[in-house]
Amino acid sequence: MSEKLSDAARDAMLGPLFETGWEMVDGRDAIRKTFKFDSFISAMGWMTQAAIWAEKWNHHPEWFNVYSKVDVVLTTHDVAGLSALDVKLARKMDSI
Ligand SMILES: C[C@H](O)[C@H](O)[C@H]1CNC2=NC(N)=NC(=O)C2=N1
């Protein structure tokens, strides 16, 4: 079972993600980022790879795709807020 991120963990783990374009969602304990690709197929390929990691870790993104753009929101529904799993998936999404 995941735990909500502590204040200390937030400082350490979220700071580096904010540098790569992640930001807090207004009014929610969640992070968001828009990923842009050069085609629909590139976006779908990225989503497919991210989906395989999400399924492996049983941690699923809220996301929305239009053509070559994917809007992603990460949060942990089981704890109603951010957990280390959100950070792990965000880092993976950045690295794919
Ligand atoms: C029952 C199942 O394990 C849970 O619903 C999992 C699935 N994927 C999940 N994904 C996310 N983002 N948060 C969760 O709390 C979560 N819980």
Q: Are 57 and 84 in contact (CB under 8 A)?
A: no
- 36 within ligand 1 shell (Cβ under 6 A): no
Q: Give, for ligand 1, the residue of 78, 83, 86 to mutate: max count of ligand atoms closer than 8 Å to Cβ.
A: 78
Q: Are 81 and 29 in contact (CB under 8 A)?
A: yes
* CA 59 – ligand 1 centroid, Å: 5
Q: What CATH number has the domain spanning 7-95?
A: 3.30.1360.20
* CA 78 – ligand 1 centroid, Å: 6
Q: What average pLDDT does the segment 65-85 reach? A: 98
What pLDDT shows up at residue 72? Answer: 99
Return the number of other C-beta atoms located less than 10 Å from residue 35's C-beta: 20
What does the buried/exposed string (b/e) look like for 39-49 if buried means 16 or more CB atoms within 10 Å of the residue's CB? Answer: eeeebeebbee
**Is the ipTM, as predicted for this complex, more than 0.90?**
yes
Domain range summary for the chain, segments of one domain joined by +: 7-95
- 83 within ligand 1 shell (Cβ under 6 A): no
Pairing of strands 62-66, 31-36: unpaired
* Digit-coded pLDDT (tens) for 20-74: 999 999 999 999 999 999 999 999 999 999 999 999 999 999 999 999 999 999 9
* Closest residue by Cα to residue 66 from 88, 91, 86, 37: 37
What pLDDT shows up at residue 21? Answer: 98
* CA 82 – ligand 1 centroid, Å: 12
